[in-house]
């Protein structure tokens, strides 16, 4: 069959989810197909080079079967839909996860870039093909990473064409990308990606041949007149395919770590990486040691002097009397329960599981539950997971399930108390590593959390050193005052210290 349609394609329509293996990986099965458009300028041929845009890290491939429409088609039935296809070929539906937040679901910028839709190299005539007996395979640097067939598609090809033709006329040369199976992942500059579509059970075993794309590093930065690349933990894990695959990529030096520290070949990172690096340099071992001797109440006084009044997480207390907690914030946000949103975001590897599965040593997992104590926001399994990963603590302005079991763990958990109900009664797990409100306090990823018997306080990283120094000195003064009171001194003039007592205190310290 002629390949002219690949040189001058019409409308390019892509299906979001269609393979059971990919749906299982995503943790959701759509009831009906959904679509997005890609511009004709995104098409490229085999042997082309695709640039990963400068400043991005999550360029992902998706090996797919492309259907080429051969005749004008409007309002056909699913049984007649396949007859509108003149041929099939291999496709690679490339996308950059860094731009998904800019798209708000449209996929235009994340998947519409020049060269982001390689097609070819050969078009197999559809006339004598069984649409349920095709196979798509993808290789990265010679290793097979995707291998699936069309035998069990969620939405057979005839159904896709019938569904689309209800509202639009499909014209000759239009291309439908039919979804990708599990195995889609991130590629780096220098990688070579190959996709092949064939019909292995057909007597002639026809094949498209391998569609080859080489990845290169772009050098032109994004301007400041539009949305710029942004990534978070969820995008990294979804781009790599799963938390396990992402972790393996980090270990192999092919991925950035969850706190944004660059691990890719070009050393790019995110804004969060800069924040994480600055926080790491601020919360030194020396400051941690100072913090161990400073009460939350004393820290709150130092912060109030600087105009920070709403930095106390109201209403929470520790499950272990006498617990002391110090760490950097990792945030998780819940939104109010709604059935459709819980159906789309509550199952599978949702934001809640992601947060507990990716919390790092020394981090405090802070949960925005809107002060809703009528359900659990963490239970024994997730609390144990956080402990095993080395988290410094958990703070939620909601309830805790399995409260007695959680109390047996070593990890400090600050909450509004026990509640037996499951998450879905009041909440939908929504997003991680964003600015949240917990107990009336704003908390950003990387903020410093300190907790004790009085509760939990939030310290902006840029204020940490001066606040801790002042609070530590105040603790020394308070200890001196307590000693004098214990020796029988009256509090008048001593608490707070007047000039006379201040002089005696300084003399006692050798200052």
- The per-residue pLDDT for 256 is 64
The yes-or-no verdict on residue 272 having pLDDT over 60 is no
What residue spans define the domains of the chain? 4-226, 310-459, 465-509
CA distances from 222 to 38, 98, 218, 261, 503 (A): 20, 12, 11, 20, 60
pLDDT in tens, 147-201: 999 999 999 999 999 999 999 999 999 999 999 999 999 999 999 999 999 999 9
If we measure between CA atoms, which residue out of 272, 277, 195 comes closest to residue 235?
Answer: 272
CA angle, 34 then 35 then 38, to 5°:
170
Stronger pLDDT, 282 or 361, i.e. the higher one: 361
CA angle, 234 then 237 then 243, to 5°:
120
Residue 189 CB burial class (10 angstroms; 0-12, 13-18, ≥19): middle
- DSSP for 40-107 reads GGGEE-TTEEEEEPTT---EE--EEEEEEE-S-B-S--HHHHGGGEEEEEEEE--EEGGGHHHHTT--
Q: How confident is the model at residue 257 (pLDDT cuts 50, 70, 90)?
A: low
- The per-residue pLDDT for 278 is 41
Q: What's the mean pLDDT in 25-29?
A: 82
Return the SS3 of 261: coil
If we measure between CA atoms, which residue out of 214, 173, 196 comes closest to residue 7?
Answer: 173
Q: Yes or no: say if 231 and 255 are a contact pair by the CB < 8 Å rule.
A: no
CA angle, 136 then 139 then 140, to 5°:
145
- The per-residue pLDDT for 268 is 31
- The per-residue pLDDT for 508 is 80
Stronger pLDDT, 230 or 497, i.e. the higher one: 230
Q: What's the mean pLDDT in 260-278?
A: 37
Q: What is the distance between the alpha carbons of residues 291 and 296, in angstroms, rounded to a whole number?
A: 9
The answer to whether the bond into 121 is cis (omega within 30° of 0) is: yes
Q: What is the distance between the alpha carbons of residues 413 and 406, in angstroms, rounded to a whole number?
A: 8
Q: Yes or no: say if 115 and 105 are a contact pair by the CB < 8 Å rule.
A: no
With a pLDDT cut of 90, the percent of the chain lying above it is 59
Q: Give the bridge partners for 451, in sequence order.
A: 325, 456
- The per-residue pLDDT for 242 is 81
Return the SS3 of 375: coil
Average pLDDT, the chain: 88
Q: What is the distance between the alpha carbons of residues 424 and 102, in angstroms, rounded to a whole number?
A: 29
Q: What is the distance between the alpha carbons of residues 134 and 202, in angstroms, rounded to a whole number?
A: 9
Place of tokens 């001058």: 8
Domain 4-226 has CATH 3.90.850.10: yes
Answer positive or negative: Cα dihedral of 51, 56, 58, 62. Answer: negative
Q: What's the mean pLDDT in 76-86?
A: 97
Q: What's the mean pLDDT in 447-476?
A: 89
Q: How confident is the model at residue 4 (pLDDT cuts 50, 70, 90)?
A: low
- The per-residue pLDDT for 269 is 33
How many helices (H) and strands (E) the chain has is answered by 17, 27
The yes-or-no verdict on residue 20 having pLDDT over 90 is yes
Among 34-48, 101-115, 478-492, the least confident range = 478-492
Q: How confident is the model at residue 328 (pLDDT cuts 50, 70, 90)?
A: very high
Q: What is the distance between the alpha carbons of residues 327 and 446, in angstroms, rounded to a whole number?
A: 9
Helices 233-240 and 243-251 pack at an angle, to 10 degrees, of 90
Fold match flag (4-226 vs 310-459): no
pLDDT in tens, 114-127: 999 999 999 999 99
Q: What is the distance between the alpha carbons of residues 41 and 379, in angstroms, rounded to a whole number?
A: 50
- Which residues carry a binding-site annotation for substrate? 379-382, 401
If we measure between CA atoms, which residue out of 38, 57, 36, 51 comes closest to residue 99?
Answer: 57
Q: What is the distance between the alpha carbons of residues 396 and 239, in angstroms, rounded to a whole number?
A: 29
Helices 233-240 and 351-358 pack at an angle, to 10 degrees, of 100
- Which residues carry a binding-site annotation? 379-382, 401-402
Residue spans of alpha helices (H) in 211-295: 233-240, 243-251, 271-282, 285-292
- The per-residue pLDDT for 267 is 31
Q: Yes or no: say if 501 and 509 are a contact pair by the CB < 8 Å rule.
A: no
Backbone angles phi, psi at 508, to 5 degrees: -70, -25
The yes-or-no verdict on residue 282 having pLDDT over 80 is no
CA distances from 165 to 78, 125, 168, 458 (A): 10, 21, 5, 55
Homologous superfamily, domain 310-459: Ribonuclease E inhibitor RraA/RraA-like (3.50.30.40)
Q: What is the distance between the alpha carbons of residues 362 and 426, in angstroms, rounded to a whole number?
A: 29
Place of tokens 């950035």: 256
- The per-residue pLDDT for 113 is 95
Residue 267 CB burial class (10 angstroms; 0-12, 13-18, ≥19): exposed
Stronger pLDDT, 340 or 93, i.e. the higher one: 93
- Which residues carry a binding-site annotation for Mg(2+)? 402
Place of tokens 């110090």: 326
Q: Yes or no: say if 171 and 11 are a contact pair by the CB < 8 Å rule.
A: yes
Q: What's the mean pLDDT in 237-243?
A: 85
Q: What is the distance between the alpha carbons of residues 453 and 317, in angstroms, rounded to a whole number?
A: 7
Q: Yes or no: say if 246 and 57 are a contact pair by the CB < 8 Å rule.
A: no
């Amino acid at each position: 069959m002629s390949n002219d349609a690949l040189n001058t394609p019409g409308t390019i329509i892509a299906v979001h989810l269609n393979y059971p293996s990919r749906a299982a990986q995503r943790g959701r099965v759509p009831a009906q197909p959904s679509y997005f458009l890609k511009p004709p300028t995104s098409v490229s041929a085999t042997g082309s080079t695709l640039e990963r845009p400068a400043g991005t890290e999550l360029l992902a491939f998706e090996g797919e079967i492309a259907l080429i429409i051969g005749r004008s088609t409007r309002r056909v039935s699913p049984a007649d839909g396949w007859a509108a296809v003149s041929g099939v070929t291999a496709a690679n539906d490339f996308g950059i996860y860094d731009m998904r937040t800019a798209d708000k679901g449209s996929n235009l910028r994340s998947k519409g870039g020049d060269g982001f839709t390689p097609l070819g190299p050969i078009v197999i005539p559809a006339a004598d093909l069984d649409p349920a007996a095709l196979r798509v395979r993808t290789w990265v640097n010679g290793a097979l990473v995707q291998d699936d067939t069309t035998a069990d598609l969620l939405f057979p090809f005839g159904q896709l064409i019938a569904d689309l033709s209800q509202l639009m006329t499909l014209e000759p040369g239009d291309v439908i990308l039919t979804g990708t199976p599990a195995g889609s992942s991130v590629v780096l500059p220098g990688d070579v990606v190959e996709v092949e579509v064939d019909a292995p059970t057909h007597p002639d075993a026809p094949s498209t041949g391998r569609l080859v794309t080489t990845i290169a590093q772009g050098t032109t930065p994004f301007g400041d007149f539009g949305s710029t690349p942004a990534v978070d933990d969820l995008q990294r894990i979804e781009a790599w395919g799963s938390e396990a695959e992402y972790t393996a990529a980090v270990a192999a030096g092919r991925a950035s770590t969850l706190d944004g520290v660059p691990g890719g070949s070009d050393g790019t990172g995110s804004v969060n990486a800069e924040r994480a690096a600055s926080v790491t340099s601020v919360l030194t071992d020396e400051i941690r040691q100072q913090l161990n001797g400073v009460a939350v109440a004393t820290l709150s006084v130092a912060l109030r002097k600087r105009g920070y009044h709403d930095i106390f997480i109201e209403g929470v207390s520790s499950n272990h009397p006498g617990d002391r907690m110090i760490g950097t914030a990792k945030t998780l946000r819940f939104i109010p329960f709604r059935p459709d949103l819980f159906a789309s975001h509550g199952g599978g590897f949702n934001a809640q599981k992601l947060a507990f599965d990716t919390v790092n040593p020394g981090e405090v997992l802070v949960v925005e539950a809107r002060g809703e104590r009528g359900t659990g926001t963490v239970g024994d399994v997730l609390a144990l997971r956080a402990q095993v990963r080395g988290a410094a603590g958990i703070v939620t302005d909601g309830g805790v399930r399995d409260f007695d079991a959680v109390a047996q763990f070593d990890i400090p958990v600050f909450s509004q108390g026990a509640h037996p109900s499951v998450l879905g009664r009041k909440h939908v797990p929504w997003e991680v590593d964003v600015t949240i409100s917990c107990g009336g306090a704003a908390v950003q990823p990387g903020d410093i959390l300190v907790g004790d018997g009085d509760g939990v306080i939030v310290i902006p990283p840029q204020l940490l050193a001066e606040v801790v120094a002042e609070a530590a000195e105040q603790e020394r003064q308070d200890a001196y005052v307590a000693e004098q009171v214990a020796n029988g001194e009256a509090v008048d003039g001593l608490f707070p210290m007047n000039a006379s007592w201040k002089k005696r205190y300084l003399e006692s310290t050798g200052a």
